[in-house]
Chains A and B, each alone.
Chain A
Amino acid sequence: MADLYTHILAGFIIGMVAYWRVEWISRPMVAAAVVGAAIPDLNRLELVLPAGAIEAATGLTWSWGIFHRAGGVILVVGILTMLVPRRYMRPVFLLLLLGAASHFFIDYFLWQPSGTTNLMLWPFADVHLDYQGVYRSSHRWPAALATVLALAVIIIDRYYVDKPNSVADGS
């Protein structure tokens, strides 16, 4: 993971662009892209409730890491989609997926000691690319860059985009 802040802003930026460009994506749907971008980092539940503790208590092998893999993401996207009214299901589903995809895309550029990318498509495909990424989650510039871009999006939205904000007009 890059830091979660960078991922969240990336989700916001992508969600806003989708809202500007696609007629049936209304403003509140941007939140789905933001939440989608955060899904893979649910693997940090490990810090709250370590998998080892679950294993010790229940005898079941356990890994929170699957949140950061395609299989876990798709299930969480499905679960969240089931919680919204029917008319919002399509945009919510797509924006959750788009947000999560942006998370994976950004993480493909992470520096790894293995010199290959993580197996993000688990359990569907064993794909990893042999190349070295350019940053680590503790680097500061991705967050700085994301902040600048997000502010630009907020300004563009405020002064240059003419699309109603309310739910009633969209979807």
Chain B
Amino acid sequence: MTDERLLRVSVLMLLLALLGGLFVLGGTDWPASPTVGPDPVDVAEEPEEFIDEEVHLSGEIIDAEEAVVEVEYGDEALGTNGEFEVELEGVPPEELEEGHELTVGGELVDEETVDVADHPFATRAPWERQYMYAISLVGALLAVGYGLNTWRFDIREFGVEPRETTLLSRLSDRGDVDG
């Protein structure tokens, strides 16, 4: 192994170790939580701790007239998951549609009520979320395709390097010859 390759592999290992450490730190919320506002799990488990505080919730509208939202929270794999219902105050009912997803900030008035007047809220239909996943999948495929078209793996060098000619142009050249 040449000195340069040894250095490169060492740096790579160091960076991977740091990344692994960061996953754990992120989960520990150290040195601070990477997200804004209280965790819905905490709000669900001890709502009394958050009364008069601002919370951010997202869930399915299950009763448009009474403005009731069912919030799913936690993690299934850890068994910390569950759902709770909150009633929203200060939302015009005509803006709510059952089955749609609602995301909102607001103050917790009591254990089951959130005052969202003067706070931003947004709703979206289930198909909008599906659109988001579908178009993002297209994006992921485009990125992978673009990368593979212009770069290739070099197993011997344990890395990647640019292609002299792109995959696509090679395919179309072959087409010209055959045609």
Contact = CB atoms under 8 A, between A and B. Distances in A.
A98 interface: no
Contact of A7 (B30, B139, B146): B139
Given A118-B36, A138-B131, A85 B136 contact: no
Contacts of A4: 135-137, 139-140, 143
A116 B33 CA distance: 15
B19 A76 contact: yes
Interface residues of B, number: 66
A41 B140 CA distance: 9
Interface stretch (B61-69, B84-92, B153-161): B153-161
Interface string B16-52: 1011001111111011111111000000000000000
A111 interface: yes
A152 interface: no
Contacts of A90: none
Main secondary structure of the interface of A (DSSP, over half): helix
A28 B78 contact: no
Interface of B: 4, 8, 11-12, 15-16, 18-19, 22-28, 30-37, 54, 56-58, 75-78, 80, 103-105, 119-122, 124, 128-129, 131-132, 135-140, 142-143, 146-147, 149-151, 157-165
Given A31-B150, A112-B36, A168-B164, 6 more contacts: A52-B78, A66-B23, A75-B22, A78-B11, A112-B120, A132-B120
